[in-house]
Amino acid sequence: MENGKLKMENSDKILIKGNYAIAQAAVNAGCQCYFGYPITPQTEIGEYLSGKMQELGRGYVCAESELAAINMVMGAVSTGVKAMTSSSSCAVALMQEALSYAASDELPVVLVNVMRTGPGLGYIYPAQGDYNQSVYGGGNGDYKIIVIAPSNVQECIDYTYRAFYLAQKYRNPVILLADGLLGQMMEPANFGEYPYPEVDVSSWALSGAKGRDARAIYSCAREEAKQIQHIIDLHKKFEVIAENETSYEEFGVSDADIILTAFGSMTRNIKAAMKVLREKGIKAGCFRPITLNPFPNNRIEELSKLGKDFIVVEMNMGQMFKDVKYAVNGNSKVELVNRPCGEWLSVEEIVSSVEKVMEKNYAASI
Amino acid sequence: MEKNFILAGFGGQGILLAGTILANSFMLDGKNVTWYPCYGAEMRGGTVNCEIVVSDTEVSSVHKQNTDYALVLNQQSFDRFVERVKSGGTIVANSTLVKETKPRTDINYVFAPMGKIANDLGTNKVTNVVSLGVLSSVCNIISELSLIKAVEKVLGEKKKDLLPLNINALKLGSGLYSAV
């Protein structure tokens, strides 16, 4: 991947659906157990693994519910093996309690959310309405989840690899936040090999106490001072994660007056819109957080201090918009171009919305 | 260059497979390509469609409002997608099941008896492959050679015996329109 362009000369590329790509990437990453319950638009992940895991002698359970699935993942990863579940929006909502526990227990749970429309049962159309659910969580207490958002099928593979690595490296749950569009579409992609080293889990994994003292993993400390320290430790850990793992990509920002910002599959549309705007003489750039948590606050703040304005483009009612606004902190203008769900905002729609915003914000100064 | 295609027909006519073959052929040509299906409560006998976008650079929107080419294998799909063809674009229709009407004056129409040709080959199951042949003859960015390679790839080792039939279907489709 270079500037988001797929290099096509590699004959190892195959045309593959995002869901299958995620599933096979999990296999390559060494995922030993999959637990899940079917839901559109991510069912192909479970479907693929139901055969593949059996073939490889690994674990596959079609759980009785999403609640059971995520708790099974917690059980599996506590023994030191890699395990995952996958689901979609309204069913990921059912997993929130477990995610809070997993974060407190410091369990390397990997959860794939292929977003559909909400709230409530919603519908199977793609949407980006689970930004808040993923980044801020629906579970109780002070906890943080690493959230990574791919924008094409190649990244579905690359970031599945990364999700498994980061989960074990930091003993922290990771959400891979895709959407129905990515899950269902096919695109040429290359699996390569799992690029990360194996993480040593022997110091904490519940791998059987033969020859050593017994261990336990708790989500609570049962003493005030210890509980306080536990929460502080979790947050210190996330500061390290933010320091080391925050990632984003940007295009044409150095001379830009206005920066289009999007996450996930909307990234491709803002990149195309940027080109059209530049042809029209508007100095537009693109900024795309790859990790939504930790969020690239510092870079956005830097850019805003250079006087660059932001237009956040997303398929929800303005969820990442608030985080961009927080990072910009009044240094420059932040506007929202959005639609709650359904057909993705087209390049033409983004261009015309940006032009309207430019007219509104800059008419006085022109 | 970025062009998009909508392929549509009855569930069971092999629309998604035709789209997969087309997308594979673009991949073999070294282009960037995406394939996106309508998904949900589609079933045999209902309508189904998929969208293919091919580009020299990274594909922008995977799912677009309007299309450069529509390939439709039944009447319902013709009625639905004729409205979404860009002005100056082309709709390619299976005249075995689609009436030859021209409701708009700003687009090109290609009618070909794809179903009949497939039947003459012995099975209407290859209507989709015949239709790709027709599409390749009206759209110069589709290479027939890559389509043949893509068919081979999609059929795989298991269904290798069906390759001659499918190549025949492709060639009849592509030869048909240029002969008209």
Asked if the model's pLDDT at residue B176 lies above 90, the reply is: no
Average pLDDT over chain B, rounded to an integer: 93
Which residues on A lie below 8 Å from B27 (Cβ)? 8, 13, 15, 188
Which positions in chain A have a beta carbon within 8 angstroms of at least one beta carbon in chain B?
4-6, 8-9, 13, 15, 40-41, 124, 152, 180-181, 184-188, 265, 268-269, 271-273, 343-344, 346-347
Of A6, A8, A184, which has the smallest distance from its Cβ to B36's Cβ?
A184
Give the integer Cα–Cα distance in Å for A128 and A281.
Answer: 30
- Closest-CA residue in chain A for B25? A15
Are the Cβ atoms of A5 and B23 closer than 8 angstroms? no
Asked if the model's pLDDT at residue A1 lies above 50, the reply is: no
pLDDT of residue B56: 94
E strand map for chain B: 2-10, 32-37, 47-55, 67-72, 85-94, 108-112
pLDDT of residue A8: 38
Domains in chain A and their CATH numbers? 14-208+217-245 (3.40.50.970), 249-362 (3.40.50.920)
pLDDT digits (tens, 9 = 90+) for A71-111: 999 999 999 999 999 999 999 999 999 999 999 999 999 99
DSSP string, A199-241: PP-TTT-----TTS------S--SSHHHHHHHHHHHHHHHHHH
pLDDT of residue A190: 96
pTM over 0.90: yes
Are the Cβ atoms of A265 and B27 closer than 8 angstroms? no
CA distance readout (Å), A3 to A154, A182, A250, B54, B73: 13, 19, 9, 18, 38
Please state the rounded mean pLDDT for residues B94-102: 97
pLDDT of residue B157: 92
Which of A207-221, A351-365, B14-28, B128-142 has the weakest average pLDDT?
Answer: A351-365
Q: Are strands A174-179 and A309-314 parallel, antiparallel or unpaired?
A: unpaired
- Return the domain boundaries, chain B: 2-179
pLDDT digits (tens, 9 = 90+) for A269-318: 999 999 999 999 999 999 999 999 999 999 999 999 999 999 999 999 99
pLDDT digits (tens, 9 = 90+) for A163-178: 999 999 999 999 999 9
The total number of residues shown for chain B amounts to 180
Task: List the single best residue of A5, A15, A350 to mutate versus B (max B Cβ within 10 A).
Answer: A15
* Domain B2-179: CATH architecture, name and number where available: 3-Layer(aba) Sandwich (3.40)
What are the backbone dihedrals phi and psi of residue A16, each rounded to the nearest 5 degrees, phi first? -145, 150
Please state the rounded mean pLDDT for residues A230-251: 97
Give the integer Cα–Cα distance in Å for A335 and A184.
Answer: 30
Question: What's the DSSP call for residue B83?
Answer: G
pLDDT of residue B97: 97
Which residues on B lie below 8 Å from A268 (Cβ)? 58-62
- Closest-CA residue in chain A for B57? A5
Please state the rounded mean pLDDT for residues B54-61: 92
Give the integer Cα–Cα distance in Å for A129 and A316.
Answer: 5
Average pLDDT over chain A, rounded to an integer: 94
Please state the rounded mean pLDDT for residues A182-207: 97
ipTM: 0.92
